[in-house]
Amino acid sequence: KVFRPNAVGVLDMLQQVKEDFDAAAERTKKLEKEASNEFEHLNTTMRASIRSTERSLTKTAKDLGTVQVDLGDTLAKLRREQGLLNGAVKELEKLRAACMDEVDPEERRKAREDEIEALKQDED
C-alpha cells in the first residue's frame, strides 16, 4: 500500500461538502414549504376577497339601478308639480292684476255700484 496523507483531507472535504449540501437542501425544502403555505394562505385570502368584492359590486349595481328608477320617478313628479306651480303663479298674476290695478279705490267703488245698478236694470 502506498501512503497518501492528502487522501484523508480530500475525503474530509468531500464529506463537508456533502453535509453542507444536505443542510442547504433541508433549508431550501423548509423555505419552499413555508413559501408554499404562505402562497396558499394569500391565494385563499385573495379569492375570498375577490368573491366578497364581486358580491358587493353586484349589490351596488342593483342599488344603482333602483336609485336610477327612483330618480326618474322623482324627476317626473317634480316636472308635474312644477307645471302645477307655474299654472298657479300665472293664475295668481291674473288675479293680482284684477285686484291690484292702479284704479283709485273710490273709482272702483263707483264702478261696482254702476255695475250693480246696471244688473238691477237688466232684471227689470
At 2 the pLDDT is 47
> Amino acid identity of 13?
M
At 50 the pLDDT is 97
* CA dist 26 → 32, 49, 68 (Å): 10, 34, 62
pTM of the model: 0.48
Q: Is the pLDDT of residue 10 over 80?
A: no
**Phi/psi of residue 11, nearest 5 degrees:** -65, -40
Q: Among the listed ranges 2-6, 8-12, 85-89, 119-123, which one has the minimum average pLDDT value?
A: 2-6
Give the residue carrying C-alpha cell 295668481.
92
Neighbouring residues of 111: CB distance < 8 A, sequence distance ≥ 6:
103
Portion of the chain with pLDDT greater than 90, in percent:
61
Q: Among the listed ranges 20-24, 84-88, 99-103, which one has the minimum average pLDDT value?
A: 99-103
Neighbouring residues of 115: CB distance < 8 A, sequence distance ≥ 6:
none
CA gap 37, 59 in Å, rounded: 33
At 101 the pLDDT is 64
What count of Cα atoms within 13 Å lies in the side-chain half-sphere of residue 118? 6
